[in-house]
Amino acid sequence: MDVVVLQSLEPLIEALTSSGYTVVGPRVEDGAIRMAEISSGADLPAGVGDVQKPGRYRLTSGDDGMVFGFAASPDSAKRYTQPPRQTLVRVRDEAIEEVEQEAPRVALLGLRACDLAAVAVQDRVFAGGRHPDPAYLRRREALFLVAVNCAVPGGTCFCVSMGTGPKAVAGFDLAITELASPHRFLVETGSERGGEIVALIPHHPATSVDIDAAEEVSRTAASRMGRQVDTDGIQEWLPAAHDSPRWADVASRCLSCTNCTMVCPTCFCSTVEDVTDLTGQVTERSERWDSCFTLDFSEVSGSHVRSSGLARYRQWLTHKFATWYDQFGTSGCVGCGRCITWCPTGIDVTEELACIR
Amino acid sequence: MSAAEKSRPKLAVWKFASCDGCQLTLLDCEDELLPLASTVEIAYFLEASSAIGPGPYDLSLVEGSITTPQDAERIRHVRRVSRRLVTIGACATAGGIQALRDFADVREFAAVVYARPDYIATLERSKPISAHVPVDFELRGCPIDKRQLLEVITAFLAGRRPVVPGHSVCVECKARGNICVLVAHGTPCLGPVTQAGCGALCPAFNRGCYGCFGPTETPNTRALNAQLRRLGMSDPDLVRVYRTFNATEEPFLQASEEAEGDA
Ligand code: SF4
Ligand code: SF4
Ligand code: SF4
Ligand code: SF4
Ligand code: SF4
């Protein structure tokens, strides 16, 4: 793996843009660090940090000039791998029209190790098995993934417990570690096209000082996890806790609002909607994000299989942390902490698991 | 008149106690109004024309709540002449903002406002249409959403179930890519207990949802109230957020009473 050092990210953003990618990276919008289109290094959140707690997110500002001094953004790669709504088929006057789904060339700059692990989970869901989704494959192929190794984990992060971070080890085209004094970026190449981009920009080889400094960043981050989960034997004990009194307790705090599943980078559930137009000549079938927290999601023949909030919360937690293994061979959770931060009532999966155990 | 012309379903739009905002949503469907007018015969719609069709009607859209004995009588007539009856907007589905009077003595109001309160014939309560006659579908919102209105009309024409989910505003909020104002700004938001349909309009403009689409399919207002209190809302403020357009809808009523009880 080639390891080089860049003095600035400006040439990287330019090279990605001139190679035909729309660059989507961290930028401050509406009081949060979103993943949004950026056109220059000046758009990056220099000196901005975040404080993440259950049900609470706030920005901080400082003058260290670091552009990646924060943890998981509310946005993940999911919006790009699995768009919130897509039209699947259109039937016009009884003739079926294939709807070509868009697969925009996007460079996602600033994905974290947990985000890469989540993309790998989605790859198994959508591209694995006997029926890979061709539209997913095309979208995925069109994404260029630039990871950033976390220096400052958030208060809700627990990637160390899930074995997914904080250092990106695979699944990226390029991986950046931001280093201080002097401010510079260590860049690892993870793919051929990653190497092609690096070849376009001014760089010099990393020295052992740079490499040691980068390792130190990841070591420090690993020691500063906001939270942890004891996953030992979880495949057995979590489903076995089906009758735990804790479920009723958490259900009393749960709004069934779906926010946890919407922000979760691995939650993939969707529903299909068929609509006709006024003339009755055009029918469209579309797929949109749904969640195991909605009542309709478990509707079978007009009745709801999981009609209580308790049953829905139990379904989400048990699937995510245990039965996902049976289905896909890994955990469904990558420890990014988003469901904790963005839960309006601050329900914390790590705390629930600890209590249920 | 051609055969097709004859078989065009007849649409009627009726008004009870309301502000006309929901009916205007129909006129607001600029691009769709022409195809709509060629698909259905708009046989009764005072807001748009003075022609009064004789009925019966295939689809009646009813705006407004029932607040007078005359209206209670008129809605029974509307039901009799309508094959399908769909109520539109918070007034018709929940009693509307005017149901706030249910929390006070309406005769006292009348005495304060009118020189001759004895001329005023009004019911004790402002009730949704469904409290008086059977309703085939209730479309929520104050005002209703144009896309949802077209979807309901289209679905009724096609004889299918309208795609109008009962889940929270949060689903649409996240799909739209809004930042959560509750978590990131500490702004009180009723989105988690409010039914979707508006496309998460208010959070898109950095405002909290104030619940104009009424309660979700499974609202947990007690849990939301606990969080809103943590964000610094006082009990009187909590009572007020639930007492707007859907104040007497059971889950919102309970939520405000719970806050009042603790006050
Ligand atoms: S369950 Fe929560 S912590 Fe785990 S991947 Fe999903 S959002 Fe992240
Ligand atoms: S969970 Fe780990 S990889 Fe993800 S943002 Fe937090 S520290 Fe970084
Ligand atoms: S756990 Fe939190 S985010 Fe998830 S549905 Fe319940 S209240 Fe909403
Ligand atoms: S802003 Fe309101 S509607 Fe949007 S996700 Fe947050 S709580 Fe839900
Ligand atoms: S966000 Fe809430 S208050 Fe605003 S339009 Fe939608 S339902 Fe109504």
Tell me what pLDDT residue A1 has: 59
Tell me what pLDDT residue B53 has: 60
Tell me what pLDDT residue B26 has: 87
Say whether both B183 and B248 belong to one domain.
yes
Q: Residue B163 falls within a domain, yes or no?
A: no
Higher pLDDT, B157 or B229: B229
Higher pLDDT, B192 or B114: B192
Per-residue pLDDT of A122-135, as tens digits, reads 999 999 989 999 99
How many angstroms is it from B40 CA to the middle of ligand 5?
30
The confidence band for B150, taking pLDDT boundaries of 50, 70 and 90, is: very high
Q: Residue B164 falls within a domain, yes or no?
A: no
Tell me what pLDDT residue B52 has: 63
> What is this model's ipTM?
0.96
Distance from CA of B89 to the nearest CA of A (A): 21
The confidence band for B6, taking pLDDT boundaries of 50, 70 and 90, is: low
For chain A, strand residue ranges (E) read 3-6, 22-29, 32-37, 48-53, 56-61, 85-92, 95-98, 106-111, 143-148, 174-179, 184-189, 204-205, 270-276, 282-289, 299-300, 303-304
- Minimum-distance CB partner of A31 among B168, B171, B179: B179
Ligand nearest to the CA of A338: 1
Tell me what pLDDT residue B31 has: 84
Q: Residue B27 falls within a domain, yes or no?
A: yes
The residue of chain A with its CA nearest to that of B149 is: A278
Residues A18 and A335: their CA atoms lie apart, in Å, by 34
Q: How many domains does chain B have?
A: 2
pLDDT higher than 90, residue B187: yes
Q: Where are the alpha helices (DSSP H) in B136-242?
A: 146-158, 169-176, 181-185, 201-204, 221-230, 235-242
Cβ–ligand 4 contact at B180 (below 6 Å): yes
- Minimum-distance CB partner of A278 among B39, B177, B218: B39
Say whether both B27 and B85 belong to one domain.
yes
Q: Residue B77 falls within a domain, yes or no?
A: yes
Say whether both B238 and B177 belong to one domain.
yes
Which of B114, B129, B158 is where one domain is finished?
B158
Cβ–ligand 2 contact at A265 (below 6 Å): no
Q: Check CB contact under 8 Å for B191 and A291.
A: no
Q: Check CB contact under 8 Å for A345 and B227.
A: yes
Average pLDDT of chain A is 95
Cβ–ligand 4 contact at B64 (below 6 Å): no
Residues A85 and A120: their CA atoms lie apart, in Å, by 21
B183 CA closest ligand 4 atom index: 6
Cβ–ligand 1 contact at A338 (below 6 Å): yes
Whether this model's pTM surpasses 0.90: yes
Residues 6+ apart with CB under 8 A from A71: A50, A52, A112, A150, A152, A153, A154, A156, A157, A337
Cβ–ligand 2 contact at A154 (below 6 Å): yes
Residues B143 and B29: their CA atoms lie apart, in Å, by 14
Give the mean model confidence (pLDDT) for residues A334-354: 98
Per-residue pLDDT of A32-87, as tens digits, reads 999 999 999 999 999 999 999 999 999 999 889 999 999 999 999 999 999 999 99
Size of interface A-B (CB pairs under 8 A): 132
Q: Containing domain of residue B25, as a range?
A: 3-158
A257 CA closest ligand 4 atom index: 8
Ligand nearest to the CA of B200: 5
Say whether both B126 and B37 belong to one domain.
yes
pLDDT higher than 60, residue A155: yes
> Which residues in chain A have their CB less than 8 angstroms from residue B188's CB?
none
Say whether both B250 and B179 belong to one domain.
yes
Q: List, as ranges, residues 247-306 from A with C-beta within 8 Å of B.
A: 252-259, 262-263, 273-280, 288-291, 293-296
Cβ–ligand 4 contact at A344 (below 6 Å): yes
Residue A31 backbone zone (phi > 0: left; psi -120 to 50: alpha; other: beta)? left
Tell me what pLDDT residue A110 has: 97
Give the mean model confidence (pLDDT) for residues A308-329: 95
Distance from CA of B171 to the nearest CA of A (A): 6
Say whether both B66 and B141 belong to one domain.
yes
Give the percent of chain A with pLDDT over 70.
Answer: 100
Whether the CB of B232 is below 8 Å from some CB of chain A: the reply is: no
Cβ–ligand 1 contact at A231 (below 6 Å): no
Give the mean model confidence (pLDDT) for residues A183-208: 97
Tell me what pLDDT residue B48 has: 66
**Protein residues with CB under 6 Å of any ligand 5 atom:** B 169, 194, 198, 200-202, 209-213
Whether the CB of A316 is below 8 Å from some CB of chain B: the reply is: no
Average pLDDT of chain B is 91
- Minimum-distance CB partner of B220 among A74, A256, A294: A256
pLDDT higher than 80, residue B46: no
Q: Residue B226 falls within a domain, yes or no?
A: yes
Residue A167 backbone zone (phi > 0: left; psi -120 to 50: alpha; other: beta)? beta
Per-residue pLDDT of A255-280, as tens digits, reads 999 999 999 999 999 999 999 888 88
Say whether both B178 and B151 belong to one domain.
no
How many angstroms is it from A340 CA to the middle of ligand 1?
8
Tell me what pLDDT residue B261 has: 84
Q: Residue B224 falls within a domain, yes or no?
A: yes
pLDDT higher than 60, residue B4: no
Say whether both B174 and B153 belong to one domain.
no
Q: Residue B212 falls within a domain, yes or no?
A: yes
Say whether both B141 and B35 belong to one domain.
yes
Which of B158, B179, B213 is where one domain is finished?
B158
Domain ranges of chain A: 3-222, 234-356
Angle between helices A349-356 and A309-318 (to 10 degrees): 90
Per-residue pLDDT of A223-259, as tens digits, reads 999 999 999 999 999 999 999 999 999 999 999 999 9
Query: In the numeric block, which tokens belong to residue B5?
Result: 């012309």
Residues B47 and B13 sit within 8 Å (Cβ to Cβ):
yes
Q: Check CB contact under 8 Å for A344 and B151.
A: no
Say whether both B119 and B227 belong to one domain.
no
Residues A96 and A89 sit within 8 Å (Cβ to Cβ):
yes
Say whether both B115 and B52 belong to one domain.
yes
Q: Check CB contact under 8 Å for A30 and B206.
A: yes
The confidence band for A300, taking pLDDT boundaries of 50, 70 and 90, is: confident
> Which residues in chain A have their CB less than 8 angstroms from residue B185's CB?
31
SS3 label, residue A72: coil
Q: Residue B177 falls within a domain, yes or no?
A: yes
Tell me what pLDDT residue B28 has: 86
Residues B140 and B22: their CA atoms lie apart, in Å, by 10
Per-residue pLDDT of B47-86, as tens digits, reads 666 566 667 999 999 999 999 999 999 999 999 999 999 9
